[in-house]
A and B are shown apart, each in its own frame.
Chain A
Amino acid sequence: MTENVDHDLKVSYTRDETARQHFVSGMRSYILNHLAGNLRTVYAKKVEPAFKNKNKRAPKTAPEIHKALKDETVFKFYSALRCNTQEMVWRSVIPGVEREVDELAMRAKVLNQSDEKAKGTVRTDPKLQIPRNVSELDVHLMPGGYHEERVAGDVSQGAIYDNGLSVFAMGLLGPRMDDITQSVSTFFAKRYPDFKPRRILDLGCSIGHSSLPWKERYPEAEVFGIDVGAPLVRYAHARAQSYGVTAHFEQKDAENTGFADESFDVIYSCMFLHEVPKRGIRNIFKEARRLLKPGGVMLHYELPPNKMLTAYDGFYLDWDSFYNKEPYYKPFRDMDPEEECKVAGFKTSKFFQYVVPSMSFYGEKAVTEAVSHTKTEGDSNVGRFADGVRWYTFGAWKQ
């Protein structure tokens, strides 16, 4: 099994396959911690001075920096190694999933029908129109995306995502790879101690790793997760059942959920919006507002907006949009979250944004301390997936 997949859908890997996965995690750590540093040095010591010499000023925007750097050998190697490593993440876990496709489908079916450890539910919708940003794109270079299915009750894309994430995370996301939502929900519960949600919805929930921490934080609440990928919701529910956490998963499009008006207290998403085109994001915000009860909250964990970062950090994060098959990543980061909440009908005075320290990296105490003094500007570690990461979150309350 991969490092962080310890539930009943875990996959067996040979020693060599495991060694391949170790290599990929090691490569990622090397690229994101060391090569990224080399890239920044070459920029600061060579590319920026040359730009200043020629233009009598420093580059002002992320695209200017990108243009100035993209012909440098260090950028080409950084990029080529990152793309290859990203593909190797998935290729390192596919063989085990491929061997166990039928076994995984059977185990998921058993878990999904069992009420032994938890009493969640799962529902797929074969008529659901899969949006183009999912159906036509091997997003973040993941063969098969979130939706491809090959056998009855297939969960293989869920298994690829789960095991791949384990290799990808290099330990940064904690034992159940839910550090983002553990950190954000802990912060949120401490920041708003009087808020007691009864119904919580996680949009674009994938394997449900971002849904379950909400149940831990608010055990009385009902937790729902939706995703357009049928293999994902099947997998998410089976995973939750295996961990003994009651949660409900449905195959639905976040833009048009079909849930009743004012039926949720929290509408949450984690690492989801940047995979959706602008028009879709606007629809999702409107839909979230419709679904929220008065006094409820829309809350998104996301990559920080470009306007919050220096030009270099903006360039660094936008890399994925150009080269990692994440075309909506930069357009999302160019948006102004506050403005978009306003467009959806949320009052500007009800908007908030926070930077939350990673709980698995800094510890729970740091999260508690951040409640009283969170800063959002000029922090190179925000959203940067490497040692010392801090998570950006924003949202708005519905009056």
Chain B
Amino acid sequence: MFAAKVKKTQTKLRYGVKGKQIKFFDAQGVDELVSICMTLAQELWVVKERLATVEAAAAKKGVILGDEVEGYAFTPEQRAVMEEEKAKFIDRVFFTLREQSEALEIDAKDEPDPPKLP
């Protein structure tokens, strides 16, 4: 049904929310720290889910991983992929800091206000 060849456009979508940033804590920077901690927790979960998958897949083949993981050396190609993944990982964890500066670049002067806080 979808036989047509697609022309790729390198389109970038927006990840950050435009307009006023919502804050909860009085001490400067705490909101950002919460965001960063949450992303770290998320990334830790990603690792745990992947590790569980690797262990389950290996066990299915009768391979119990142990020393092999400890002594493993990546090839330069594998290392390059890891470097790229690491950069993306850091960007995701610290996303909240990027979002703040990006939000300044999007015109959102006419954004409707929330109701007045009690």
Do A and B truly interact?
yes
Indicate if the CB atoms of B14 and A133 lie closer than 8 Å.
Answer: no
CA distance A77 to B33 in the complex (A): 12
In the assembled complex, how far is the CB of residue A122 from the closest CB belonging to chain B, in whole angstroms? 17
Chain B interface, DSSP helix/strand/loop, else mixed: loop
Contact of B17 among A75, A110, A143, A148 (CB under 8 A): A143
> Which A residues touch B41, using CB under 8 A?
23
* B4 proximal to A (CB < 8 A): yes
CA distance A153 to B12 in the complex (A): 16
* B117 proximal to A (CB < 8 A): yes
Which residues in chain B, 1-19, are within 8 Å of chain A measured between CB atoms?
1-2, 4, 6-9, 11-19
CA distance A210 to B38 in the complex (A): 32
* A194 proximal to B (CB < 8 A): no
Indicate if the CB atoms of B13 and A110 lie closer than 8 Å.
Answer: no
* B67 proximal to A (CB < 8 A): no
Indicate if the CB atoms of A91 and B110 lie closer than 8 Å.
Answer: no
CA distance A120 to B114 in the complex (A): 38
Per-residue B-contact encoding for A156-185, CB less than 8 Å = 1, 0 else: 100010000000000000000000000000
Per-residue B-contact encoding for A116-156, CB less than 8 Å = 1, 0 else: 10000000000000001100111001111000101100001
CA distance A85 to B34 in the complex (A): 11
- Of B6, B19, B92, B114, the most chain A CB neighbours within 10 A belong to B114
| CB closest chain-B residue, reference A160 | B13
> Which A residues touch B117, using CB under 8 A?
66-67, 70, 322
* A338 proximal to B (CB < 8 A): no
> Which A residues touch B113, using CB under 8 A?
327
CA distance A132 to B109 in the complex (A): 12
Per-residue B-contact encoding for A378-398, CB less than 8 Å = 1, 0 else: 000000000000000000000
CA distance A136 to B16 in the complex (A): 14
Which residues in chain A, 307-361, are within 8 Å of chain B measured between CB atoms?
321-323, 325-328, 330-331
| CB closest chain-A residue, reference B111 | A136
CA distance A88 to B34 in the complex (A): 13
Indicate if the CB atoms of B115 and A321 lie closer than 8 Å.
Answer: yes
Indicate if the CB atoms of A97 and B6 lie closer than 8 Å.
Answer: no
In the assembled complex, how far is the CB of residue A112 from the closest CB belonging to chain B, in whole angstroms? 12
In the assembled complex, how far is the CB of residue B99 from the closest CB belonging to chain A, in whole angstroms? 8
CA distance A88 to B13 in the complex (A): 15
Tell me which of A98-106, A252-260, A365-373 binds B: A98-106
Contact of A19 among B1, B8, B14, B50 (CB under 8 A): B50
10 further contact pairs, Cβ within 8 A, besides A91-B95, A97-B13? A15-B53, A67-B117, A81-B34, A81-B38, A91-B92, A136-B110, A142-B17, A150-B11, A325-B22, A330-B115
CA distance A381 to B46 in the complex (A): 32
| CB closest chain-A residue, reference B23 | A80
* A290 proximal to B (CB < 8 A): no
A-B contact pairs, 8 of them (CB 8 A): A77-B34, A88-B42, A98-B12, A102-B11, A143-B18, A144-B14, A148-B14, A321-B115
In the assembled complex, how far is the CB of residue A134 from the closest CB belonging to chain B, in whole angstroms? 10
Indicate if the CB atoms of B6 and A103 lie closer than 8 Å.
Answer: yes
* A282 proximal to B (CB < 8 A): no
Contact of B34 among A75, A80, A138 (CB under 8 A): A80
* A63 proximal to B (CB < 8 A): yes
Indicate if the CB atoms of B24 and A107 lie closer than 8 Å.
Answer: no
CA distance A114 to B3 in the complex (A): 13
Indicate if the CB atoms of B13 and A322 lie closer than 8 Å.
Answer: no
Indicate if the CB atoms of A80 and B24 lie closer than 8 Å.
Answer: yes
CA distance A19 to B16 in the complex (A): 21
* B68 proximal to A (CB < 8 A): no
CA distance A186 to B111 in the complex (A): 38
| CB closest chain-A residue, reference B107 | A136
Name the 7 nearest CB pairs between A and B, nearest first.
A63-B118, A19-B49, A67-B118, A19-B46, A23-B45, A143-B14, A76-B24
